[in-house]
Structure 1
């Protein structure tokens, strides 16, 4: 196959999250003759599972959100700090928000998720997400304000969504704001952590109870205002005053405009084949939050987690190069390595292949496990050494 540029094949990776950055690094490592371009508007990579430790001060920014220029240095990857707005699949050319046009031989879409409001009024204007560094800064400012002002009667923070993000955040905030604010965890379903292991769910319930976090299940948010929530509880409308609302109820995907359009699933994800190519496509691949990927070994598609995205990356890199060489592609199969949840400062719970653990040791194991999985060998080593210095030093 001949490159459309007459020289090196150009692979463009859109999105510098788990799947995108790891794929770009793998491509550069496997084939120096392929030109790899990473398009990512942010100047850092964010290891989102450790965002809770960044909020609580247990880890530092350089460990959790290293600069992309440092991670990419020496790998021969071109980084374009821009945002892709549209992609022409027929001409194999994309357009960025700055007006730049970039052609490609292969395209990898790994756009991350964005806050899903479910059409609830006021979410965009008044709620704080917990997905980005900008979200973190807004929440840090809110926490600092509550910590330094005189507590008001029934002063509370409301967290909407009792999945993993909501539960982990509720425990961290309860530890940070003890005596300063009530923490209210709101879930429209009938239980917390609906997709989690039973051991982790029970440990989480205990952690929430120990921290006096108020859990409201079967409560649907109807509206968010600057100083209150409107809830629907058993058919009755209820107003819940609060000093702030953190929204962890779900993620939406927002891929760039595709021309012609591509098939999407019920959640808006791009429908892919098992080899991570878009359905009916040769040159466009997708992974991470934006991709709906079937798994022939499982009835359900893999979840939208960092674990899945990082497992997709090596398969993605292999298949991109194989498609350029005219070789067979591999199907992606998710290997479920287990589940780890942070449950407050210095506390965590782990369930992995029959192994369970909870408490401070689990928290330390969680941190070091995640740090050694950071993209970039140099950063992994520096982060692990820094962690050891903090925990094993005099």
Structure 2
């Protein structure tokens, strides 16, 4: 490697990667920063359901990296990583380009895990990216149209049946979202919304078993039955095969077949293949093949390399769940330690504060476990969830735009236009926090100021 290369390369533009890059820019990091991701857009995954069902738009949930990084000094490269040479400190891309680094940040996240279930990868729909959401949207609309046009009752039932595999948080959120908006779609086309079936296939007896959202299980169980169409839960069902027109699952000693044209796969994740291919011995990986890192987020064998998010696990600490709140906090910690190293200082252990959990349970419905102190359900929890996530969007400009649009629609139009503004809703809005209030104040100021120079000045202070 050229000893004169002093640049940091970040692979992966998810929460860990993007927040590392943005924090480095904010803290005036003295070395060049290159962020590599195969996608053009960042995906704020916790809000992908809102993008899917039309509650939020592209700018709010899947903004372009070029917009998020504008003026930051971070170089964005849209390309796929072909290989990573830790010994030569080189990253090779599919385009043929390559980058040497003085420091590397591995933020590749995880990939959908199909667990060797026959036909799952070929026939089930994942829900991980904007492209996944668009593909599923198109497929479901086609199924509804075909159902209206067929007089074959068995085929119509098959077209109108959606099976979600996996009773973790992703499966619960997907099933609840579908059970609310699919009936409305079908009704708008002239169909009978009661013909829609949403089925949740759960491997164990309990939903959310072992999940960070486990404390919210009683609320989730109740809310799943309050959707526009109640969700059918098949428990202790192990998916064994996914066909184009059916899913097979094992229940006890029997194998059952459930006819459906739509199987959605939310049953777990796998380690990114690039992480699996790294020359890291098994004793320096966890049981899921993720990379073990020191408390400072550095690889045990390659201290110039940092890793965070779903592709890493802190050595001797299995308490951190693979969630967005952990990933973006790790990104901030990695950035601080990179800056410390650049200035000849010692890196410090990362600090991650778990702030509870938020679970979407349908359109305008959610459950929130706040700091493991108290729980909120229904529309107040929905407001808390939306507001909390929006205040965590990657940059002040993006945060401001998305938050004010949401507040304008959700609070002023949806609630204040109603003759009955409940005390619970008002309390929920207060709980959303200072981020929302600040956004509203800034929005009013911008309207009064009216010119671009003053807008920039206000945005710089919010």
Q: Aligned equivalents of 2:258 and 2:242: distance in 1?
A: 10
Q: Aligned equivalents of 1:374 and 1:273: distance in 2?
A: 28
Deviation at 1:204, TM superposition (A): 0.9
Q: Aligned equivalents of 2:337 and 2:319: distance in 1?
A: 19
1:251 and 2:264 are equivalent in the alignment = no
How is 1:371-390 mapped onto 2 (pairs within 5 angstroms)?
371-390=390-409
1:274 and 2:271 are equivalent in the alignment = no
Q: Aligned equivalents of 1:43 and 1:106: distance in 2?
A: 24
1:19-73 Cα offsets, whole Å, 9 max, x none, are 1000011112213421000011111111000011111111111100111110000
Structure 1 residues 151-160 or 13-22, which shifts more?
A: 151-160
Match of 1:153, SS state, is helix
Structure 2 residue aligned with 1:6? 4
1:284 and 2:302 are equivalent in the alignment = no
**Aligned residues of 2:30 and 2:342 also touching (Cα < 8 A):** no
User: What is the CA RMSD across the aligned residues, in angstroms?
Assistant: 1.8
Deviation at 1:96, TM superposition (A): 0.8
Structure 2 residue aligned with 1:184? 199
Structure 1 residues 72-81 or 171-180, which shifts more?
A: 171-180
Structure 1 residues 261-270 or 375-384, which shifts more?
A: 261-270
How is 1:56-95 mapped onto 2 (pairs within 5 angstroms)?
56-95=53-92
1:40 and 2:56 are equivalent in the alignment = no
Q: 1:259 to 1:183 in 2, by over 3 A?
A: closer
Match of 2:297, SS state, is coil
Structure 1 residue aligned with 2:168? 163
1:153 and 2:157 are equivalent in the alignment = yes
Structure 2 residue aligned with 1:193? 208
Q: Aligned equivalents of 1:113 and 1:23: distance in 2?
A: 18
**Aligned residues of 2:333 and 2:351 also touching (Cα < 8 A):** no
Structure 2 residue aligned with 1:217? 235
Q: Aligned equivalents of 2:223 and 2:375: distance in 1?
A: 16
Q: Aligned equivalents of 2:38 and 2:126: distance in 1?
A: 19
- Structure with a larger share of its residues in helix: 2
Q: Aligned equivalents of 2:146 and 2:220: distance in 1?
A: 29
Q: 2:354 aligns with which of 319, 336, 340?
A: 336
Structure 1 residue aligned with 2:387? 368
Structure 1: gaps spanning 5 or more residues: none
Match of 2:163, SS state, is strand
Q: 1:32 to 1:267 in 2, by over 3 A?
A: closer
Deviation at 1:355, TM superposition (A): 2.0
1:111 and 2:108 are equivalent in the alignment = yes
Q: Aligned equivalents of 1:229 and 1:198: distance in 2?
A: 27
Q: Aligned equivalents of 1:363 and 1:295: distance in 2?
A: 35
Match of 2:286, SS state, is coil
Q: 1:204 aligns with which of 220, 228, 235?
A: 220
Structure 1 residue aligned with 2:442? none
Higher Cα Rg: structure 1 or 2? 2
Q: 1:240 to 1:355 in 2, by over 3 A?
A: same
Structure 1 residue aligned with 2:343? 325
1:235 and 2:239 are equivalent in the alignment = no
Q: Aligned equivalents of 1:252 and 1:122: distance in 2?
A: 17
Structure 2 residue aligned with 1:346? 364
Q: Aligned equivalents of 1:53 and 1:267: distance in 2?
A: 30
- TM-score normalised according to structure 2 size: 0.80
Deviation at 1:142, TM superposition (A): 2.2
Match of 1:128, SS state, is coil
1:328-380 Cα offsets, whole Å, 9 max, x none, are 22112431100111110110110112121111121122111101101011100
Deviation at 1:272, TM superposition (A): 1.3
- The alignment of Structure 1 onto Structure 2 pairs a total of residues equal to 388
Structure 1 residue aligned with 2:377? 358
Q: Aligned equivalents of 1:255 and 1:291: distance in 2?
A: 13
1:28 and 2:25 are equivalent in the alignment = yes
Deviation at 1:145, TM superposition (A): 2.2
Q: Aligned equivalents of 2:255 and 2:140: distance in 1?
A: 28
Deviation at 1:196, TM superposition (A): 4.1
